[in-house]
Structure 1
Amino acid sequence: MTNAHRVYAIKYGHLERTARTNFIHPPGDHEAAMPMDYFLWLILCDSGRTIVVDTGYNARAARERGRTMLRHPAEGLARMGVDPRLVEDVVITHLHYDHAGNVDAFPKARFWLQEREMEFATGKYMCRDFFRLAYEREDIIGMVNALFDQRLEFVDGDAELEPGVTLHRVGGHTAGLQMVRVATQAGPVVLASDLFHYYANLELAQPFPIVYSPTELMDSFERAKAFVKDGGWLVPGHDPLVMKRFRPEPSDPEFTVRLWEPAG
């Protein structure tokens, strides 16, 4: 095995926002446009294994939350030759609505989730609106159903899913947020998910406002940087710049980029 996996960001949604909504303490012009893109990620392992990372939001959540669904996340996978009905491994970085919807589109999948995320999303803090606002009841029920169907794989901290594909709990944004580190021919690609929504959250050390533990999040910024200290890329969860910083996938250039090939 060469552990030269291929990893893609697949855009499926969009939201217009301003800078004031994307930082706890917004720098500069608070009213400057700072839109948000929504992604899922696809790992095609050199062993032939297919791993999907996150499942996006569904049409109902998009409608009720005022998000634009550019296309269903499953369509993006189909453009890459991946049938969600046949996918056997799905990593859920955390259980927020835009990362854990559409689980019914993956009827054969095992879902890899941090144990602490499930504990939090089914625990007493869901009685509080602030903590509950980014979760959807049906998504949590979907994970409970996967549990009883014996299709939920709990992760406690760090784990190796495949040689060259590892999971790492970082918390901060949620109690059990996990990153995915992927070995590629050009160096490691770290899918940071919502540890930082935008490159600017990390570069300015300015967290996104929805946060479970600001101190844990700031410490995790440093852990993420350590993963690429010798090269590679940290990929944020929602930054439109991802589509500009990496090379488009020829089969789906408007919506999908190759995260091991920088643009230019």
Structure 2
Amino acid sequence: MSEWQVHAVKYADRNARVRGDSFMLDSAPNVAHPMDYFIWVLRRGDQVIVVDTGYDAAEAALRGRPIRLDPHAALAPLGIVPEEVATVIVTHLHYDHAGGLHLFPAAVLHMQAAEMAYATGPCMCHDMLRLPYTGAHICEAVKRLYSGKVVFHDGDAEIADGVSVHRIGGHSRGLQAVRVRTQAGWLVLASDAAHFYENFQMRKPFPIVVDVQDMLDGFGVLDRLASRPALIVPGHDPLVMTTFPQDRAAHIVRLDLGPIG
């Protein structure tokens, strides 16, 4: 059984953040703490799976959070055209992970049933829980459902040989991590189950959370899924760009080779 190549594609960053935005009850909450934003690409031969879609310039303007690269431009060095991608794993429906769904019109979306229920249910009556979502993105997911292009999962599921999803919850009800077989071992794309290395290494919850216990328990799930801790890839940590080797362009790193050194 062959392994997958895995790329992290950085499309945006946000530097006007502090540690209090990243860690609950932090001892230095006002210290600067930047965040990067990624799309992930899995490739094996002619097979391509995109994990999350980023967000576009329109969403960037709406939220006042500029992007450095439109998803089309960000993926171009890998030879990937969003309109031609057949499979997209949606780790959850927050704007920065599902804001580009409309850019992948041919793709079948794989998501947790719990995420759709959460994003369209009574929890969205609360401003704080609704804030990371954008209605148009949820409508796009629903339209895709009604065109027969959504596959729902309930917990653990295999998407392809060597690629599986695992519901973590915590940050959102249906957040899922992605486990991938690579030449370096079983690699885990944590997405927002761990925004930063420090979240899971030090068991520090991220402040945007619907269930703190699920988030804390999820750190242990990430540990069990990965062959070793160095193969857990957090969803937003700028350290990812220096921990793994650059590939194709300055905004892309290759994860399946393992950390540098």
- 1:58 Cα deviation after fit: 2.0
Aligned residue number for residue 118 of structure 1? 116
Uncovered stretches (5+) of structure 2, i.e. residues with no partner: none
Deviation at 1:230, TM superposition (A): 4.9
SS at match of 2:95: coil
SS in 2 for 1:68: coil
Q: How does 1:1-264 map to 2 (within 5 A)?
A: 1-2=1-2, 4-16=3-15, 17-27=17-27, 29-46=28-45, 48-230=46-228, 233-249=231-247, 251-252=248-249, 254-261=250-257, 262-264=259-261
CA distance in 1, matches of 2:104, 2:21: 33
1:45 Cα deviation from its structure 2 partner: 2.1
- Distance in 1 separating the partners of 2:251 and 2:104: 21
**What CA distance in whole angstroms lies between the structure 2 residues aligned with 1:231 and 1:215?**
21
Q: Retained in 1: the 8 A contact 2:8–2:252? A: yes
TM-aligned CA deviation for residue 232 of structure 1:
5.5
User: 2:197 & 2:205 partners in 1: Cα distance?
Assistant: 11
* Contact preservation (8 Å) 2:186, 2:227: no
- SS in structure 1 opposite 2:241? helix
Alignment gaps of 5+ in structure 1: none
Aligned amino acid, residue 176 of structure 1: G
Q: For 2:66 and 2:236, how far apart are their aligned partners in 1?
A: 14
SS in 1 for 2:169: coil
After TM superposition, where is structure 1 displaced by more than 2 Å over at least 4 residues in a row? Answer: 228-232
Cα separation, 2, equivalents of 1:225 and 1:216:
14
SS at match of 1:12: strand
Aligned pair count reads 259
Judged with a 3 Å threshold, the aligned counterparts in structure 2 of structure 1 residues 231 and 13 are, in CA distance, closer, same or farther, namely closer
One-letter amino acid matched to 2:253: V
**Percent of matched pairs sharing the same residue:** 44
Contact 1:188–1:232 (Cα < 8 Å) also in 2:
no
Question: Do the aligned residues in 2 keep the contact of 1:195 with 1:221 (CA within 8 Å)?
Answer: yes
Deviation at 1:30, TM superposition (A): 2.1
Aligned residues: CA RMSD: 1.2
Query: Structure 2 length as normaliser, TM-score?
Result: 0.96
Q: CA deviation at 1:68?
A: 2.4
